[in-house]
């Protein structure tokens, strides 16, 4: 499928969704392939015209041998080779480019094409030749050379078409590249402005939140400090009250115990006194009491007398007790 001038003018590369992604490689490659096919077709047409020129040169050399025509044909052949070279370079430069070196190369090609077009126009005017145009309508024009006189205008027209298409492609590519560059710059500015706005809003919100958090933290710290002081005072007061209660209770218990001890000591003294008196009375009673019955048996007297006579008693302990009783 060949590429027409309208296709070149109407081609639009889709904008990449992501910023900075650039052109889509597949779309650009397809477009470059179409340009390559078109210019390859034009090169084939140039070769065919060159073959026709050579055939015309041979026929003219055998018939009239006009040296001026041969010179003109040689010059046109050289110009055709130069045009072919220019077309190859134009194909290489047809893809979208944004760097300065490629822009300078495109400018140089346009200048050379303008010079070549001017030279061909001068040659056509000097020889008075005409051009046979093919079908128009935006399609690739087919130029049929019937005589040697038509060779120069045919080459001129072919070079003009190649130059116009190349310039159109370059201009369209530059316009598209500039448009995309402007669009990218605009989006970059929008994104930058949006990012700055968000950053400022976030920073402002952060400051507000920080102030609020600081105020809340300060208030919470003051509240906790107040509660801590209150709790400390209450605990100290409770501890003091409890200490007083404990001391009072201990003092009361001490007084009670002291009273009990005093009563015990008094009871002990009374008990001792009572026991001493009792034992003293008992001792006095034992000392003053007479245990021997009033009716003393006669045998007891006789036994004592017998003991005295014999020099001893058969019941000495009983005798001792009786003696103590007396």
Is residue 35 within 8 A of residue 169, CB to CB? The reply is: yes
At 90, list the tokens. 């134009």
* Distance from C-alpha of 125 to C-alpha of 115, rounded to nearest angstrom: 15
- If phi > 0 it is left, if psi is from -120 to 50 it is alpha, else beta; for residue 15 that is beta
Spatial distance between the Cα atoms of 290 and 75, rounded to a whole number of angstroms? 193
- Is 58 within 8 Å of 151 (Cβ atoms)? no
C-alpha closest to that of 83 among 174, 138, 143, 152? 152
Q: Evaluate whether residue 139 is within a structural domain.
A: yes
Question: Rg (Cα) of the chain, in Å, rounded?
Answer: 73
Rounded Cα distance between 312 and 230, Å, is 105
**Domain-located, residue 228:** no
CA dihedral 251, 253, 255, 260 (to 10 degrees): -170
Domain containing 198 equals 5-204
Does residue 250 sit within a domain?
Answer: no
Quickly tell me which residue has 């009374």 as its tokens.
270
Q: Which two tokens stand for residue 61?
A: 């050399």
Count of domains observed in the chain: 1
Residue 63 placed within a domain: yes
Count of alpha carbons within 13 angstroms of residue 273, beta-carbon side: 6
| Domain-embedded: residue 83 | yes
Q: Does 185 fall in a domain?
A: yes
Distance of CA 166 to the CA centre of its chain: 49
DSSP 64-117: T--HHHHHHHHHHHHHHHHHHHHHHHHHHT-S---SHHHHHHHHHHHHHHHHHH
Cβ burial, residue 207 (10 Å; 0-12/13-18/19+): exposed
Please tell me the predicted confidence (pLDDT) of residue 9: 60
232, part of any domain: no
- 33: its two tokens: 């392939």
Task: With beta carbons less than 8 A apart as the criterion, state whether 12 and 22 touch.
Answer: no
In a domain, 165, yes or no: yes
CB 116 within 8 A of CB 80: no
pLDDT score, position 315: 67
Tens-binned pLDDT, residue by residue, of the chain (326 aa): 555 656 666 666 666 666 566 666 677 777 777 777 777 787 777 777 777 777 766 655 544 445 665 676 677 667 667 766 665 565 555 444 444 555 565 666 667 666 666 666 665 555 443 333 333 434 444 444 444 444 455 556 666 676 776 677 667 767 777 787 788 778 878 888 888 888 888 888 888 888 888 888 899 999 999 999 999 999 999 999 999 999 999 999 999 999 999 999 999 999 999 999 999 988 888 888 766 666 666 666 655 555 555 555 666 777 777 666 55
The predicted model scores a pTM of 0.25
């Amino acid at each position: 499928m060949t590429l027409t001038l309208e296709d070149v003018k109407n081609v639009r590369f889709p904008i990449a969704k992501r910023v900075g992604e650039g052109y889509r490689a597949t779309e650009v490659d397809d477009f470059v392939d179409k340009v390559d096919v078109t210019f390859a077709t034009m090169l084939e047409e140039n070769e065919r015209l060159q073959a026709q020129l050579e055939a015309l040169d041979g026929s003219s050399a055998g018939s009239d041998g006009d040296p001026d025509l041969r010179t003109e044909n040689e010059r046109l052949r050289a110009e055709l080779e130069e045009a072919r070279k220019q077309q190859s370079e134009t194909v290489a430069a047809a893809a979208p480019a944004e760097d300065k070196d490629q822009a300078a190369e495109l400018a140089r090609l346009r200048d050379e094409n303008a010079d070549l077009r001017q030279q061909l126009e001068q040659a056509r005017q000097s020889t008075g030749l005409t051009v046979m145009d093919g079908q128009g309508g935006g399609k690739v024009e087919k130029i049929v050379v019937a005589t040697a006189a038509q060779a120069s205008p045919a080459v001129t027209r072919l070079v003009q078409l190649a130059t116009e298409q190349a310039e159109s492609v370059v201009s369209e590519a530059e316009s598209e590249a500039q448009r995309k560059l402007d669009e990218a710059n605009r989006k970059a500015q929008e994104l930058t402005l949006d990012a700055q706005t968000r950053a400022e809003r976030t920073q402002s919100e952060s400051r507000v939140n920080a102030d609020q958090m600081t105020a809340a933290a300060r208030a919470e710290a003051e509240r906790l400090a107040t509660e801590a002081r209150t709790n400390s005072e209450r605990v100290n007061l409770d501890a003091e009250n409890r200490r007083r209660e404990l001391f009072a209770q201990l003092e009361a218990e001490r007084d009670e115990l002291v009273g009990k001890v005093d009563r015990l000591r008094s009871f002990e003294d009374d008990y001792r006194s009572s026991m001493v008196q009792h034992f003293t009375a008992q001792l006095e009673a034992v000392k003053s009491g007479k245990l021997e019955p009033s009716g003393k048996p006669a045998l007891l007297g006789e036994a004592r007398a017998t003991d005295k006579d014999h020099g001893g008693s058969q019941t000495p302990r009983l005798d001792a007790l009786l003696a103590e009783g007396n």
